[in-house]
């Protein structure tokens, strides 16, 4: 339990170890810890930013999706309309064509009828004269009855 | 902890003081009468630096002596602490830390928190000081876990050394060496922060702020100031010395029964040793924060 120079020795070594710790141990360790803290804070920040970015992107994607859906619907509607229109037009055209064909046919028929009538008209006086001659037993002069024959032909 | 080869029957009055005597290297004055092992007396013709052969010789050396064992083990523990922490600090990265760096960072972070809780000034000294005190004192205390006869037996067999006491904190020289260092820092910070006049005013005008009370105040405050290093040193010394004595007493039991007391006592010191280191550290921080705060 003697107090002696050990005391001085311990004081000197105490000072030396504290100095060593202060100079070579404390600064690098605390600096590393501070740097890591900054890194972690940065990382968390980046994560937050990324989350926000993701949210924005998702919002954008949904809005684009909605827009494109609307566009698609519009396109389909237009297409339907156009198709109906085309069908209508085709119907109209068909009807018109049909009508035209009918009209042409009728005109032809009329023409044929007229032609037949003309032929008939041309032949009616001959037939009438031939008939009358058969009935009378002698020939009949057709020119003597021209007026009557023409009247008959016109009645046809 | 305990192991004595000769079994029970050792005289406690011899065994314990023997184990509590330091390996002392010091100066014996001229004309000193040394009693040799064989009982012969030789008188020294001139003052000699030598290793004390008996406890009386160690005491007679007075101040001009060094406890080689305490100081050596204290230095060894301090170097161990510095080396381990330096190894951790040298490779410190802000990336993924290794195991050693993790440990060093845990200790540094813990001590840093401790200091920041108490000490509100700005100082690059207090925190490393606190870390050094805690680790060093703990390591020195931890030497008390080494079986009490192991190192002395090696020292006596290999080097023929009569006395060898390895626990530095059971030597008041060591604890006072540290507490006087802390005391010097207290004075230094008091003068630096408060100035000479501020510090004297604090000593003279507290607790009774009246000129008539100055002598009384001075008496109280100076006693209070001086008490700090004493309480620091004696608390640590007393605790570890007492633990050591109990370990030595247990070592006197028959070898087959020592574990009954030895093991619980050693386990109990898992609490005591860090706690004593912690108390020394915290009180140092508190004293220094008091010294650097203006009232």
Identify the residue among B23, B54, B78 best suited for mutation to test binding to A, counting A beta carbons within 10 A and taking the highest.
B78
The separation between CA A141 and the C-alpha centre of its own chain, rounded to angstroms, equals 83
Q: Is A35 exposed, middle or buried (0-12, 13-18, 19+ CB in 10 A)?
A: middle
pLDDT tens digits, one per residue of A101-134: 999 999 999 999 998 888 888 888 788 888 888 8
Which residues 162-201 of chain B have a CB within 8 Å of chain A? 168, 171-174, 176-178, 180-181
B contacts of A42 (beta carbons < 8 Å) = none
Cβ contacts of B285-289, under 8 Å, gap ≥ 24: B285/B114, B285/B115, B285/B118, B285/B119, B285/B126, B285/B130, B286/B118, B287/B182, B287/B186, B287/B228, B288/B119, B288/B123, B288/B126, B288/B182, B288/B185, B288/B186, B288/B189, B289/B118, B289/B119, B289/B120, B289/B121, B289/B126
- Residue B127 C-beta-side C-alpha neighbours within 13 Å: 22
ipTM above 0.95, yes or no: no
Catalytic-role residue among B3, B102, B209, B231: B231
Q: Determine whether the interchain pair A20/B82 forms a contact, defined as Cβ–Cβ distance below 8 Å.
A: yes
Residues in chain A closer than 8 A to B85 (CB atoms): 21, 25, 29
Q: Do B61 and A10 touch (CB under 8 A)?
A: no
Q: Are B226 and B207 within 8 A, CB to CB? A: no
Q: What is the DSSP string of B233-244?
A: HHHHHHHHHHHH
CA distance B221 to A55: 66
pTM summary value: 0.77
Residue B239: active-site member: yes
Measured CA to CA, the distance from residue B115 to residue A26 in angstroms comes to 13
What is the block-wise mean pLDDT of chain B (295 residues), using blocks of 10 residues?
48 86 89 80 85 86 91 96 94 88 94 91 89 97 93 90 92 95 94 90 84 89 94 95 94 91 94 96 93 76
To the nearest whole Å, the CA of B90 is away from the closest chain A CA by 7
What is the C-alpha to C-alpha distance for residues B64 and A6, in angstroms, rounded to an integer? 9
- Contact between A32 and B94 using a beta-carbon 8 Å cutoff: yes
Q: Is B217 one of the catalytic residues?
A: no
């Amino acid at each position: 339990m003697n107090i002696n120079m050990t005391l001085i020795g311990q004081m000197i070594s105490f000072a030396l170890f504290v100095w060593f710790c202060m100079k070579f141990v404390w600064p690098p360790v605390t600096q590393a810890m501070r740097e890591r803290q900054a890194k972690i804070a940065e990382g968390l920040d980046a994560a937050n930013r990324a989350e926000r970015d993701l949210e924005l992107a998702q919002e954008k994607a949904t809005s684009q999706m909605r827009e494109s859906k609307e566009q698609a619907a519009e396109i389909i509607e237009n297409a339907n309309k156009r198709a109906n229109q085309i069908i209508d037009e085709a119907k109209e055209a068909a009807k018109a064509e049909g009508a035209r064909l009918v009209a042409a046919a009728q005109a032809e028929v009329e023409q044929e009828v007229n032609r037949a009538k003309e032929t008939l008209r041309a032949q009616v006086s001959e037939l009438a004269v031939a008939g009358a001659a058969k009935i009378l037993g002698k020939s009949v002069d057709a020119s003597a009855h021209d007026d009557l024959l023409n009247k008959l032909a016109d009645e046809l | 902890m305990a192991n004595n080869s000769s079994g029970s029957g050792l005289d406690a009055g011899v065994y314990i003081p023997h184990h509590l005597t330091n390996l002392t290297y010091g100066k014996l004055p001229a004309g000193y009468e040394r009693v040799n092992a064989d009982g012969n007396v030789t008188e020294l013709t001139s003052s000699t630096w030598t290793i004390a052969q008996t406890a009386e010789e160690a005491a007679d050396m007075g101040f001009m002596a060094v406890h080689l064992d305490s100081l050596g083990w204290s230095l060894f523990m301090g170097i161990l602490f510095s080396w381990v922490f330096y190894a951790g600090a040298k490779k410190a990265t802000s990336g993924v830390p290794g195991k050693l760096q993790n440990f060093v960072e845990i200790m540094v972070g813990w001590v840093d928190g401790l200091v920041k809780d108490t000490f509100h000034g700005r100082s690059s000294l207090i925190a490393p000081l606190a870390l050094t005190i805690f680790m060093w004192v703990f390591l020195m205390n931890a030497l008390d876990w080494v079986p009490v006869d192991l190192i002395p037996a090696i020292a006596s067999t290999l080097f023929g050394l009569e006395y060898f006491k390895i626990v530095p904190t059971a030597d008041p020289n060591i604890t006072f060496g540290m507490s006087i260092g802390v005391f010097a820092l207290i004075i230094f910070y008091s003068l630096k922060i408060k100035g000479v006049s501020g510090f004297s005013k604090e000593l003279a005008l507290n607790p009774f702020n009246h000129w008539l009370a100055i002598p009384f105040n001075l008496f109280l405050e100076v006693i209070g100031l001086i008490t700090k290093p004493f309480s620091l040193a004696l608390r640590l010394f007393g605790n570890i010395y007492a633990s050591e004595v109990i370990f030595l007493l247990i070592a006197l039991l028959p070898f087959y029964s020592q574990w009954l007391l030895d093991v619980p006592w050693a386990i109990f010191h898992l609490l005591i040793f860090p706690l004593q280191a912690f108390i020394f550290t915290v009180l140092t921080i508190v004293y220094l924060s008091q010294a650097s705060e203006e009232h």
